[in-house]
Structure 1
Amino acid sequence: MEIKRVHALVFSGAGTTTAVARRFCESFAKASNQLGMPVEVEVDDITPAASAVPAIGANELVVVAVPSYGGRVPAPVASRLSKLGHVGTPAIMLVTYGNRAVDDTFIELADTLESKGMVPVGGAAVVAHHSLMTNVAQGRPDQDDLSVVDELARQVSSKLAHAACARDARLGSVPGGRPYREFGGVPFKPRTDEELCVRCGTCVVQCPVCAIDAEDPTKTDADACISCMRCIDVCPRGAREIGGGLALGAARKAFAVKCAKRQKSYLL
């Protein structure tokens, strides 16, 4: 089948998942060019709550890239993808994880895509620096991790070039189970240094769940917040940080011990 555009839709708190998605798109474009089938590349950030998921046309490969939160797809992603769909469109699943496990992330994402008529044809789990437990998986994805992304791009490019339609290239199996793993979020939430905050509203616009008060950005709805670290990453003044004190320090220490063994990035 002919692919004219590779189109990435990315949910990314601290930006690492975006970097992985861009790497795949660049590698896929390179591999396709070598096969004599040049493609365009488009990367859309669907993290902010007001994000509009663009229409997907024929002859596109859709890449959905998400971090694994507690072994699940981030809660806002399903609503972002609710209007997505072009029956028979091939889709790639990229999942980043912080050196623990992806649990049911892939099967949940595959179910979401297939409910919109899309066909998962490939995927990869990529270890990335943990955005909350920041002492875990530091420096990742590294070159070994990115080589897995490159290999996925090469394999999918070749597979689609020799397939009559996406169904011919469909993944044979997707890891995970149903019902999906329960995940109730984490107790650590961002807080604001009111002396540094200039109320610019950047965090308000970028928050994926509208948890930050538009009238007073120093206030965060802890129940709505999903601790994605987006507000911390985008704040131009460095006025936001994760709260938790000694409890957060203890959690990071315990998590680092639990996840001390280097996990690998891998293809589905």
Structure 2
Amino acid sequence: MDISVAKAVVFTGAGTTLAVARRFTEACALPSLVTDITPLSAGVPTFCAHDLAVFAIPSYGGRVPAPAAEKLARMPLVDGVPAVLLVTYGNRAVDDTFAELADIVSARGFVPVGGAAVVAHHSLMVDVAKGRPDAEDLAVVDALAADVCARLAEVPSAADAALTEIPGNRPYRAFGGVAFHAAADPQTCTRCGVCASVCPTGAIDPADPASTDCDRCVTCLRCVSACPEGVRFVDGGEALVAARAAFAERCAPRQPSYRI
């Protein structure tokens, strides 16, 4: 089948998932469009028959991040557009993320034809997977791009290149969020509003950006990475220090990036 454009849809907090998506589209050697759907106001691009859709998301507790799932579930229906599933994870596991993502996009008419789990520096447990994705991880992304493009060039439709097995369980594992959330120092916050503009859930009031609605916050930490003054942080104190130490010990062995 003829593929003319690689269109990536990305949900990203600290930016590593975005970097992985860009690496994939570049490796495809096709014209590309990368759309960051993380901010609440951002929309999902439209797709047509000659597009290769790339859905890139981080695994949150083994699941698709809720704000991403909600947006993707509202995408206009398509008819057999091939899709690649890119899942980044913080050196623990992806659990049911692939299954959930495949179910969401398949329900909109996309056909999963390839995917990869790519280890990336954990945005919350910051001592885990430092420096990743590294060259070994990115080689997996490059190989996936080459394989998907080659297979699609040899078949008349995405259905002929569809994945036959997608890892994960149904029902998906329960995920109740995390106990730690982003906050800001009200004494140094300049009220510029950048954090509010990039938040995926509206957890930050543009009129009072030094505050965070913890009931809405999904701890993506996009606001922390986007703050131009560097005054946003994860609020957790000694409990966060202990959680990071325990997680780092449990997830110390290097986990691989791999294709599905």
Q: Distance in 1 between matches of 2:126 and 2:111?
A: 35
| TM superposition score normalised by structure 1 | 0.95
Partner of 2:126, secondary structure, is coil
Which deviations, in whole Å up to 9, do the C-alpha atoms of 1:143-165 show, x marking residues without a partner?
00000000000100100000110
RMSD of equivalent CA atoms: 0.7
Q: Distance in 2 between matches of 1:134 and 1:196?
A: 23
1:208 to 200, 203, 214: 200
Q: Distance in 2 between matches of 1:191 and 1:70?
A: 21
AA partner of residue 90 (structure 1): P
Unmatched runs of 5 consecutive residues or more in structure 2: none
- 1:32 is matched with which residue? none
Overall identity of the aligned pairs, in %: 57
Deviates more, 1:75-84 or 1:3-12: 75-84
AA partner of residue 254 (structure 1): A
1:69 to 60, 67, 73: 60
What pairs with 1:5-16 in structure 2 (closer than 5 Å)? 5-16=5-16
Please identify runs of 4+ aligned residues in structure 1 that moved more than 4 A.
none
CA contact 1:192–1:241 (8 Å) conserved in 2 = yes
AA partner of residue 227 (structure 2): C
2:45 to 22, 37, 54: 54
Q: Distance in 1 between matches of 2:77 and 2:119?
A: 28
- 1:22 is matched with which residue? 22
- 1:35 is matched with which residue? none
Q: Distance in 1 between matches of 2:68 and 2:207?
A: 26
Unmatched runs of 5 consecutive residues or more in structure 1: 30-38
- 2:140 is matched with which residue? 148
| TM superposition score normalised by structure 2 | 0.98
Deviation of 1:84 after TM superposition, in Å, equals 3.8
2:218 to 223, 226, 234: 226
AA partner of residue 103 (structure 1): D
Deviation of 1:85 after TM superposition, in Å, equals 3.4
Which deviations, in whole Å up to 9, do the C-alpha atoms of 1:43-90 show, x marking residues without a partner?
000000011111111200000000000000000112211124321000
CA contact 1:56–1:85 (8 Å) conserved in 2 = no
AA partner of residue 2 (structure 1): D
